[in-house]
Chain A
């Protein structure tokens, strides 16, 4: 059973005052996320990421299409006790302390009273808020609120966690902690579906990613496969204070920084480049094939000419769920 199955989900809003016209926020999204996956939902601001999450959470209603979450229809209340959700830039009841808030959410999620207070303390410790547990949330910084948000999302031990821009507004340390937390959730066997526009986070954490732009799915792929594709170029790094002329003549694009040179040249020039270094007694540091980055994939998918491909990918993915849809 897949964790999430989305079938042609669409959402349009009516905009305008006198002459109302529909504005499409999400068009015919088809996507399947397997259990245990960490799935990144990528796209620029306004791409439709939050709309998709709100649809899955039942906060807005679809214009067309449907979805199944953990085998239940998405509007089935039973599914809600098995999922956790962190909204974008979360805001909580600021009259409550962190402990009171988590206790309240535990009550609403049906966590038994006996286990609840222990679970709350455990979550506070997990997100590093034990010392601030008795402070009202109105005195919390943005980063602390984000931590509370993460704690409430996993408080009831859900099988599937939805995180909308979980790293937004966090300092580098906070981002690192959230990344660690997502890794821990993966090790616990949870499915994590998170939206982001920070590609380095997606590259570091996700098994698969989908790119969405202007409400349209542009591509789905396994990160490992996307980033394993070579570009027909190699990158060599060696100790030198200048670029040897013989290397430049091989068509190398080189950059000197201090005592080190970083040169990129066509793959077929690899042996010739190594000969040059040997001849000139230059010490080689590394030689690696240049791989496509997630950023390159992302930018490619945002191009208008890639629209048709993306649509086909969404459909193709049904047949090849774990495959690369590029």
Chain B
């Protein structure tokens, strides 16, 4: 990897790690995993289901919040605070800056997800007293959650490259919500005719398909997840993120830093 991208990514990671707000969110997510134990205790025979469902939902939701919260400020904060001036006056290309920021944030989210996942597995061990083979699907669900974060980070970066942080947060969160309903949207498009049908189809395929990346329920029930889905989801998430990052780079390359 280009060393400058690596340095920018590491600085972004270091900044996030030193931000206290991040720890509040992680603590809150771990607390929710702890709550899952309590709920699991009172849910006779379905403790595992409740712990996995609640725990992974907490990991996903708080991860998305962190991705949006930090992602929207990655570029705009640097412009507002003018920290960017002393970076871009060095031999750093604008695309390297955007890509470095993206890798820094995704790195932060992977590390956070690891710690939150440890919380989920500890809760699982507490209620089930041992690990099972089917717990491997929880790992796959966690991998898909990380793929979701990749897309959310890229979208947050894309929107923040041309709008205010608040609007970027609104757009990203709205796309996350719509994308989580992408399968329903595709179903609706299939039964709709004419121009409305065409529009619905276009929107359904344009928004990121977060619902395909959500296998929490399957993992909670211990159902196997097809290898083909893992491959397709990986390619889809990488391509979608690359597209959003390319858009962010194209806009940022032409932007005047006032």
A residues whose Cβ falls under 8 Å from a Cβ of B: 13, 54, 57-61, 77-78, 80-81, 83-85, 87, 89-93, 95-96, 104-105, 107-110, 149, 152, 156, 162
Contacts and interface: CB of A to CB of B under 8 A. Distances in A.
Nearest to A59: B257
Interface string B1-22: 0011001100100110011000
Given A59-B257, A92-B83, A93-B83, A83 B89 contact: yes
A61 B257 CA distance: 9
Contacts of A60: 256-258
A60 B19 CA distance: 30
B93 A152 contact: no
B129 interface: no
Interface string B60-94: 00000000000000000000011111111111110
Contacts of A104: 7, 11
Contact of A61 (B7, B88, B256): B256
A78 B88 CA distance: 12
Contacts of B7: 104, 107-108
Contacts of A57: 85, 88-89
B254 interface: yes
Q: Counting chain B CB atoms within 10 Å of each CB, which of A59, A77, A92, A96 scores highest?
A: A59
Contacts of A54: 85, 257
Identify the 5 closest CB pairs spanning chains A and B, nearest first: A85-B89, A80-B91, A60-B256, A95-B18, A87-B85
Interface residue range, chain B: 20 to 34
B85 A110 contact: no
Nearest to B87: A108
Contacts of B84: 59
Contacts of B91: 77-78, 80-81, 108-110
Nearest to B97: A108
B17 to A, nearest CB: 9
A107 B2 CA distance: 12
Contacts of A83: 89
Nearest to A103: B7
Contact of B15 (A61, A95, A110): A95
Nearest to A83: B89
A80 B91 CA distance: 5
Q: Kindly name the residue among A78, A87, A149, A152 whose own CB sees the greatest number of chain B CB atoms within 10 A.
A: A87
Interface in B8-38: 8, 11, 14-15, 18-19
23 contacts: A54-B85, A57-B85, A59-B85, A59-B89, A59-B256, A60-B256, A80-B89, A81-B91, A85-B89, A87-B82, A89-B82, A90-B82, A90-B85, A93-B11, A93-B83, A95-B14, A105-B90, A107-B3, A107-B7, A108-B8, A108-B90, A110-B91, A149-B86
Given A60-B257, A110-B91, A105 B86 contact: yes
A91 B83 contact: yes
Given A59-B257, A61-B254, A93 B85 contact: no
A87 B14 CA distance: 24
Given A95-B15, A109-B90, A85 B258 contact: no
Contacts of A84: 89
Nearest to A79: B91
A76 B85 CA distance: 16
Contacts of B90: 80-81, 105, 108-109, 156
A262 to B, nearest CB: 46
A58 B91 CA distance: 11
Given A60-B257, A92-B83, 16 more contacts: A59-B257, A60-B258, A61-B254, A77-B91, A80-B91, A85-B86, A89-B82, A90-B85, A90-B86, A93-B11, A95-B15, A108-B4, A108-B90, A108-B91, A108-B92, A152-B86
Contacts of A91: 81-83
A45 to B, nearest CB: 16
A99 to B, nearest CB: 13
A190 to B, nearest CB: 16
Contacts of A78: 91
Contacts of A85: 85-86, 89
Contacts of A156: 90
A78 B82 CA distance: 23
Nearest to B6: A107
A91 B77 CA distance: 11
Contacts of B93: 77
Nearest to A51: B258
B170 to A, nearest CB: 21
A165 B256 CA distance: 21
A156 B86 CA distance: 13
Nearest to B15: A95
B89 to A, nearest CB: 4
Contacts of B89: 57-59, 80, 83-85, 162
A95 B19 contact: yes
